Amino acid sequence: MLTPLTNMTGSVAPTADAAPAEDAVLRETAEKLEAAFLREMLDQAGLAEAFGTGGEGGSASAGDAFSGFLLDAIAEDMAAAGGLGLADRFYEQLAGEPVSANRSRRL
């Protein structure tokens, strides 16, 4: 049986199995960050009002109670479908990878 490698601090170095799990966590985190950004954009664009809810400053109604959930769901779906491409940039920053020039887009 192989013994785990240790780093300079004496703790056990991550195994090859840990890398895919960490990668998945970083990608999920990056997607959640993009979803939060998209949700805020949708809210500021007045999407809550478009659904007939009062929005942030409106009256309390049943629609207001669920408008936040609706905006969250729309933003999460948008981010999962690729969104604005921010999740890729967030992931690269979280993982410490250089921003790839070939995936860069200008709007």
Task: Check residue 44 and give its pLDDT.
Answer: 93
Mean pLDDT of the chain: 76
Segment 9-18 shows an average pLDDT of 49
- pTM comes to 0.65
Higher model confidence: residue 63 or residue 74? 74
Segment 89-103 shows an average pLDDT of 76
Is the separation of the CB atoms in 97 and 27 below 8 Å?
A: no
> Distance (Å, rounded) from C-alpha 37 to C-alpha 49?
19
Q: Strand, helix or coil at 6?
A: strand
pLDDT tens profile 65-90: 688 888 999 999 999 999 999 999 99
* Interaxial angle between packed helices 62-80 and 18-44, expressed in degrees from 0 to 180 and rounded to the nearest 10: 130
The DSSP H or E segment spanning 13 is none
CA atoms within 13 A on the CB side of 53: 20
Is the separation of the CB atoms in 92 and 98 below 8 Å?
A: yes
Which of 1-5, 41-45, 67-71, 76-80 is least confident?
A: 1-5
Nearest one of 51, 105, 99 to 74, comparing CA atoms: 51
